[in-house]
């Protein structure tokens, strides 16, 4: 019994809740590459964690949530004001019915896959599907198709993916071979998938980009702070943290500097750019320093929203090792953690996602509602 409880705790620890920002990285606000992805996630059983549901579906345009559905709400709802304003009620009604159908389909096929893999039904398993397209926007405003994505995973292991260039399925594991053969034996379905990725998905992406162009062009400048606290490992040192938050688009440059000279990146710990809950982003970089040298350091931040770099440091950081600023840093970190609990469940394994098996009947990627 104790062993089973330990296994369940380990399974829960594997579940990471995050905003799906596309696995390929953060897209620019306008110009360059743009992406439209839909991700569906199903759990084999309920999980007693706040905000985690047996089934979720999320649409993402670049790095912004378009719409969301969960087994709790039972409705496809807009996540952007302009989506609510531009898309008619019929769009949301059809989308809700489509999501409900997929929820039932996933529920059946999670059980099928568990049986085929000989997995215990008392354990937690996850089935996920992601599909979408990426385009490049030229300076004249026209777009060209770059690539399509249609891939499946199970419990974080890559299972099956569609090669849209050759109109065939790729099975990276032996267990997926029967599925590959079954789906490849129906050429019209592969043609449909290729057509969706290269044409229909691109059409929807262009439509959404046009509808949301004003919002997508908005830029928010970063709010920059220099925080410090006593080092946990060395009482004689401080952990100095540069924090930039509230910026959009997500592309930002930050340097931790000593006497106006940037420190080498291998000496700096970076959080990477992370989403806040309001559509903006956050980045923090930290370094351990001698306490008496605190005034020698500053944060240097550049962003497309700024006319000139923001520099924070030196005398402004004199009291940053005291309680209030440390608390501010902790609060911002907590807010970030809560913001990340937004909607899609992932088993992360080298940024790969999920899969289906041979006994599953194929569901077309689109049902005419942008998904």
Task: Answer yes or no: do 297 and 173 share one domain.
Answer: no
Q: Which domain holds residue 314?
A: 223-339
Tokens (6 digits) for 149? 């994505």
In a domain, 366, yes or no: no
In a domain, 8, yes or no: no
Place of tokens 């989308």: 95
Whether 283 has a pLDDT exceeding 70, the answer reads yes
> How many CA within 13 A on the CB side of residue 38?
25
Rounded mean pLDDT, 147-151: 96
Task: Answer yes or no: do 201 and 230 share one domain.
Answer: no
Whether 132 has a pLDDT exceeding 90, the answer reads yes
Task: Answer yes or no: do 205 and 270 share one domain.
Answer: no
Task: Answer yes or no: do 202 and 235 share one domain.
Answer: no
Task: Answer yes or no: do 162 and 35 share one domain.
Answer: yes
Count of residues in the chain: 371
Task: Answer yes or no: do 168 and 296 share one domain.
Answer: no
Number of domains into which the chain is organized: 2
**Cβ contact 80:58 at 8 Å:** no
| Distance separating alpha carbons of residues 117 and 122, to the nearest angstrom | 14
User: Within 10 Å of residue 82's Cβ, how many Cβ atoms?
Assistant: 16
φ/ψ of 159, rounded to 5, equals -120, -50
User: Within 10 Å of residue 331's Cβ, how many Cβ atoms?
Assistant: 10
Task: Answer yes or no: do 227 and 205 share one domain.
Answer: no
In a domain, 3, yes or no: no
Q: Give ∠ CA 304-309-313 in degrees, rounded to 5.
A: 140
Q: The CATH number of the domain where 116 resides is what?
A: 3.30.500.10
Query: What pLDDT sits at residue 142?
Result: 82
Q: How confident is the model at residue 222 (pLDDT cuts 50, 70, 90)?
A: very high
Q: The CATH number of the domain where 257 resides is what?
A: 2.60.40.10
Q: How confident is the model at residue 20 (pLDDT cuts 50, 70, 90)?
A: very low
Q: Report CA torsion sign: 270, 35, 158, 115.
A: positive
In a domain, 351, yes or no: no
Task: Answer yes or no: do 211 and 280 share one domain.
Answer: no
* DSSP SS3 for 245: strand
Task: Answer yes or no: do 202 and 234 share one domain.
Answer: no
Task: Answer yes or no: do 66 and 178 share one domain.
Answer: yes
Q: Which of 154, 192, 187, 186 is nearest to 173 (CA)?
A: 154
């Amino acid at each position: 019994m104790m062993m089973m409880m330990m296994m369940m705790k380990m399974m829960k620890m594997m579940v990471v809740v995050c905003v799906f920002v596309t696995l390929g990285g953060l897209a620019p606000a306008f110009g360059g590459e743009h992406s439209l992805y839909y991700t569906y996630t199903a759990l084999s059983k309920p999980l007693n964690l706040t905000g985690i549901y047996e089934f979720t579906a999320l649409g993402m345009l670049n790095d912004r949530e378009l719409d969301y559905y969960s087994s709790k709400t039972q409705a496809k709802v807009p996540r952007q004001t302009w989506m609510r304003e531009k898309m008619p009620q019929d769009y949301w009604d059809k989308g809700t019915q489509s999501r409900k159908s997929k929820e039932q389909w996933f529920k059946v096929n999670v059980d099928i896959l568990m049986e085929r893999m000989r997995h215990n039904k008392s354990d937690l398993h996850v089935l996920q599907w992601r599909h979408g397209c990426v385009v490049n926007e030229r300076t004249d405003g026209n777009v060209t198709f770059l690539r399509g994505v249609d891939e499946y995973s199970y419990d974080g292991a890559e299972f099956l993916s569609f090669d849209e260039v050759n109109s065939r399925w790729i099975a990276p594991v032996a267990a997926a071979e029967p599925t590959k053969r079954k789906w490849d034996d129906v050429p019209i379905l592969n043609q449909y998938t290729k057509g969706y990725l290269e044409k229909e998905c691109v059409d929807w992406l262009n439509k959404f980009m046009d509808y949301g162009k004003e919002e997508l062009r908005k830029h928010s400048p970063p709010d920059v702070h220099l925080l410090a606290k006593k080092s946990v490992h060395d009482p004689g040192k401080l952990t100095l943290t540069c924090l930039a938050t509230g910026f959009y688009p997500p592309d930002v440059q930050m340097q931790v500097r000593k006497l106006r000279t940037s420190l080498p990146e291998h000496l700096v710990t970076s959080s990477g750019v992370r989403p806040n809950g309001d559509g903006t982003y956050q980045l923090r970089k930290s370094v351990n320093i001698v306490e008496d040298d605190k005034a020698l350091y500053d944060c240097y931040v550049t962003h497309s929203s700024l006319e000139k770099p923001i520099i924070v440091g030196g005398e402004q950081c004199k009291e940053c090792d005291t309680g209030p600023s440390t608390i501010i840093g902790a609060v911002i970190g907590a807010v970030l953690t809560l913001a990340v609990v937004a909607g899609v469940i992932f088993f992360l394994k080298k940024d790969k996602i999920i899969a289906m098996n041979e006994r599953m009947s194929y569901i077309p990627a689109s049902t005419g509602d942008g998904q």
